[in-house]
A and B are shown apart, each in its own frame.
Chain A
Amino acid sequence: MNNSISFKDALKKGAVRYNPVLVQLVGLCPVIAASTTFVQAAILSAAMCAQLLVISIIANALMKSLPRWIRMPLYLLIGLAIVCPVLYYFETYSLGGISLGMKIYLPLTAVNSVVAVHCEQVAVKSNMKLTVYDAAASGIGGTVIFLLTGAVREILGHSTFAGVRLNLPVTLKGMTLPFGCLIFLGFLAAGLKKILPRTEPVREDISEEVKEEPAAELAPEAYSESVPEEESKANGADDVFGIAENDLEDFLKSVGIELNGEGDSAQ
């Protein structure tokens, strides 16, 4: 993805096409465990969005030069630094019984894979604008699904909405259980796939420095290039383990190896 991407495009990509919950499937644990009511889903999504935004900005500003094995625990530490005050607040000031249900699951957001994926995929490889756009878009996409799931589970499972009794004739207890949430998310994912255009448009890379770190182990297909083979050959960009052929040739030349025709005889 180039740097001139608008927020609208970033929103389409981060929130819809690569929705963290329905497409990338990285935010499933919190949504299944904690989004049994609308209010809990709102708190959880707010915590997730705050973490995603803050950690992405910090990662973009300070962690680009750090190796991955140091970055990963740092995401966790920063996540805990954000969650701990919120937890302390919940323990001190009980918000009408919400705190009891959330105490267990809020720390989960500190080890949220959404944060790790987006920081590794975008934040440490892009400029600040893209990082903020991506974090905001993913946060919005995740929040919409969290809220929708929380609302549906609360309405069908408890016959209430945001604590207000609806007096529905039938309540489905199964919707408050994890299997109910998984089934609902499955139908949501199917619906999303249905409404998205069938012919997938050419994917663009949101990161700038993919060539430096080609093996994006965390959701590599999400933001990777998927140009047709003929087109990529015409551009001289045959991917060999994520490295373009031209780059590979340059690299080999720089270390004193030259490729002679098809034989690849190294000197």
Chain B
Amino acid sequence: MMAVANGVVKQNKGSAASIYGDYLLMLFAPCFMAYWYYGVRSLLVIAASVAAAVITDILAGIIVNKKIDISDPGSVFTGAAIAVMMPSSVPYYVPVFASVFAVAVVKIPFGGSLKVPFVPAAAGFAFASVCFSEQVFAYTAGVRGSLFGATSLGSMLMNGRAVYVGEASVYDIIGGNVAGPMGTGCAILMVACAFYLLIRHPKALISSASFVAVCVLMVALFPRVTASFRTNLVPELCSGSLLFAAVFFVTEPVTQPEKVINKIVYGAVCGAVCMAMRLLGAYEEPVCFAVLLANAFRPIIDSAINNIPKFGKKASRKEVRAE
């Protein structure tokens, strides 16, 4: 049990700047898409969220007598990631509270960006989903006119309404021109971010690949709409923040396991929980809850897989002595 607890707060080898630098760079793309589809207000929401996260980080650091690390962009990433998952019309206090929660409750008490057992941004968004569900899921049409007006893909799927995926609409859907979270709806952009991550940190995408694969499998097995597989799959993947979480949260090196097989299981657990929650849960976008649950299960996954006996491999003298 102690080993499990130690595994959660294990010190990460890289620095916060090197880990979050790439993620922050990738996050510019969703921020730009938010501005493109929803105008200046989206940037103001992002700025408010980032400011809240950074100020909370500084204040909490002063309270707990912790040295303030200016090179740590973890709080900036957390604030921006929370904001791009929200609608552009959200009241400013919602992302502010979410960012404060993420930093003050998830990041600081566990010892900073490199020791967090949970993804702070996912925790912040989950907190906002619970506390301000009306505001967080009240999506609006973009300034350039969205495909289905103010109706999001997630709400259509929740109500069992099929989304026609024709040649005319598919580009709008994968391009993010549908009401939804202001920066996470563009699937093309998420794929581009995944390619960037593939070049920079190839192993990080293993859990992401298994996450998406299990989501696709779940869509095939348990479709929410009685229509073709394609009609179910495209809106499921493009709705809400699923792909965003696959690229930005599931791959986060601090919270995901180190071994390849563990990464695969971790991503699969995350995907299965996410799709199960979409099928049975009350929230339109439960991917952050799924990420948090997968984070919580991570030590158990590590422990279970590491304790599987390796057949055909001779036990070392040290292992025999330990037995």
Contact = CB atoms under 8 A, between A and B. Distances in A.
Contact of B97 (A170, A183, A186, A190): A170
B130 interface: yes
Contacts of B130: 173-174, 177, 179
B222 interface: no
B93 A174 contact: no
A215 interface: no
B105 interface: yes
Interface residues of A, number: 11
Contacts of B132: 173
A172 interface: yes
A172 B97 contact: yes
B244 interface: no
Contacts of B105: 183
B37 interface: no
Contact of B109 (A170, A171, A190): A190
Contacts of B131: 171-174
A197 to B, nearest CB: 17
Interface in A170-193: 170-174, 177, 179, 183, 186, 190
Interface string B94-107: 00010000000100
Interface residues of B, number: 9
Nearest to B133: A173
Nearest to B94: A170
A170 B93 contact: yes
B127 interface: yes
Nearest to B128: A174
Interface string A100-116: 00000000000000000
B95 to A, nearest CB: 13
Contacts of B97: 170, 172
Nearest to B129: A174
A179 B97 CA distance: 16
A172 B101 CA distance: 11
Contacts of A190: 109
A190 B105 CA distance: 12
Nearest to A169: B93
Contacts of A173: 130-133
A169 B97 CA distance: 13
B127 A174 contact: yes
Contacts of A186: 109
A26 B129 CA distance: 31
B212 to A, nearest CB: 28
A169 B93 CA distance: 10
A177 B126 CA distance: 13
Nearest to A175: B131
B85 to A, nearest CB: 17
Contacts of A177: 130
A35 to B, nearest CB: 18
A233 B132 CA distance: 60
Contacts of B127: 174
A171 B109 CA distance: 24
A188 to B, nearest CB: 13
A171 B131 CA distance: 8
A174 to B, nearest CB: 5
A128 B102 CA distance: 49
A174 B133 CA distance: 11
Contacts of A174: 127, 130-131
Nearest to B63: A194
A173 B109 CA distance: 22
Interface string A146-190: 000000000000000000000001111110010100010010001
A190 B110 CA distance: 12
Contacts of B93: 169-170
Nearest to B91: A170
A179 B132 CA distance: 15
A153 to B, nearest CB: 13
A171 B127 CA distance: 13
Contacts of A179: 130
A154 to B, nearest CB: 15
Contacts of A169: 93
A175 B300 CA distance: 28
Interface string B238-271: 0000000000000000000000000000000000
Nearest to B130: A174
Interface string B118-144: 000000000100111100000000000
Give the top 10 A-B pairs by smallest Cβ distance, nearest first.
A174-B131, A174-B130, A172-B131, A173-B131, A183-B105, A170-B93, A174-B127, A173-B130, A177-B130, A172-B97
11 contacts: A169-B93, A171-B131, A172-B97, A173-B131, A173-B132, A173-B133, A174-B127, A179-B130, A183-B105, A186-B109, A190-B109
Interface of A: 169-174, 177, 179, 183, 186, 190
Given A172-B131, A179-B130, A186-B109, 10 more contacts: A169-B93, A170-B93, A170-B97, A172-B97, A173-B130, A173-B131, A174-B127, A174-B130, A177-B130, A183-B105
